Amino acid sequence: MPELPEVETVRAGLSRLIIGKNIISVDFDTPKSFPNTQTDIDAFLLNTHFISARRRGKVLMLDLSSGYSLMIHLKMTGQLVYRGEESFGAGHPNDSLIGELPDKSTRVTLKFAQGGVLFFNDQRKFGWARLLPTAIISKEPFMMKLGPEPLEDSFTYDRFISQLKRRQNTTIKAALLDQTVLAGIGNIYADESLFAAKIHPQSIVKCVPQAKLRLLHSAIKEILLFSIEKGGSTDRNYVNAEGKRGSYIDFAKVFRKENMPCPVCQHEIIKLRVAGRGTHVCKYCQKLYKEKIK
Ligand SMILES: [Zn+2]
């Protein structure tokens, strides 16, 4: 699933390519992916232009000159691809990022008067693109519940600790995945941050020593920033606007490295199920905390 760095990569690429371009047509194949009325489409999308591209957690908001925004959640397999004076695509990594479009995964197609086409592709159709008044987006229940942005300065260590208090009795991995605790972290960055902080993902939040939580807090920021710099996590097909492959996965220490040697101690990395998700761990480097420290 695209996580904060991938959505941030989409945001940065699109803000360079689509701002100021007039939308002259929209096609969509299923209302599930594009749940908007024809009246709203005519009034607030067609013949308007994008004025900014924002991100909150894993949600992308493309603001329109009409006072509405296209709010997009990529969910499991969503991606956005721009084709025009240059090609850009980010989000879920698969062949549609570089292949001929539209294809069978294309759900929404926006065409611009200046040339250029924006494709919202989503194989599994869990994602969506909704038109909403820009002013009410931050008041949507789903948005209200989102936790702090990990890369903002206001996300201090103290703030992290107070957010974790909401999930004292769960595993640390479940707490990191909880979007109300922290916005934007998914499976990849939870595993990588916990490895960096040497905390076993099955550790219970209230049992993890403060010094380790301090390490985790800074690891989260460092790893997300590093990944954004690399263009988000990817597989072989992901190519960004500069023709560079996003390469975070190549730099991952444990994610999808099961049966391979730990880069620190050389013991084998194992895969467990934690918080319902495949979880990558070095049992030797990552300490399990299940007893409250007195
Ligand atoms: Zn190790």
- The total of other beta-carbon atoms located within 10 Å of residue 187's CB is 21
CA 76 to centroid of ligand 1, rounded, Å: 30
Residues 53, 158, 182, 226, CA torsion sign: positive
pLDDT of residue 292: 74
Average pLDDT over residues 39-46: 98
pLDDT of residue 99: 83
Cβ atoms of 18 and 50 closer than 8 Å: yes
Query: In whole angstroms, what separates CA 59 from the centre of its chain?
Result: 7
- With a pLDDT cut of 90, the percent of the chain lying above it is 81
For the cut 50, the answer to whether the pLDDT of residue 93 exceeds it is: yes
Query: Using only C-alpha atoms, what is the Rg of the chain?
Result: 20
Average pLDDT over residues 157-167: 97
Task: Return mean pLDDT, the chain.
Answer: 92
Specify the range with the lowest mean pLDDT, choosing from 104-108, 226-230, 246-250.
246-250
**What is the torsion angle, in degrees rounded to the nearest 10, for the CA atoms of residue 24, residue 27, residue 31 and residue 35?**
-20
pLDDT of residue 266: 98
The residues assigned a catalytic role are: 2-3, 58, 277
- Domain spans of the chain? 4-144, 157-281
What's the DSSP call for residue 100? -
**b/e for 243-276, b at 16 or more Cβ within 10 A?**
eebbbbbeebbbbbbeeeebeeeeeebeeeebbe
CATH 1.10.8.50 applies to domain 157-281: yes
Q: Which residues pair with 106 in a beta bridge?
A: 121
- CATH of 4-144 among 3.40.50.2000, 3.40.50.2300, 3.20.190.10, 3.30.70.60: 3.20.190.10
CA 285 to centroid of ligand 1, rounded, Å: 4
- Cβ-based burial of 46 (10 A; exposed 0-12, middle 13-18, buried ≥19): middle
Both tokens of residue 124? 């599994």
The band of 236, judged by pLDDT with boundaries at 50, 70 and 90, is very low
pLDDT of residue 241: 47
Specify the range with the lowest mean pLDDT, choosing from 99-103, 261-265, 277-281.
99-103
CA 269 to centroid of ligand 1, rounded, Å: 7
pLDDT of residue 263: 97
Average pLDDT over residues 229-244: 55
CA 195 to centroid of ligand 1, rounded, Å: 9
For the cut 70, the answer to whether the pLDDT of residue 240 exceeds it is: no
> Residue 51 is inside which H or E element, if any?
strand 50-56
The band of 207, judged by pLDDT with boundaries at 50, 70 and 90, is very high
> What one-letter code names the amino acid at 250?
D
For the cut 60, the answer to whether the pLDDT of residue 237 exceeds it is: no
Pairing assessment for the beta strands 59-64 and 68-73 based on DSSP bridges: antiparallel
- With a pLDDT cut of 70, the percent of the chain lying above it is 93
pLDDT of residue 238: 53
pLDDT of residue 94: 77
What's the DSSP call for residue 41? I
CA 25 to centroid of ligand 1, rounded, Å: 53
Average pLDDT over residues 282-293: 91
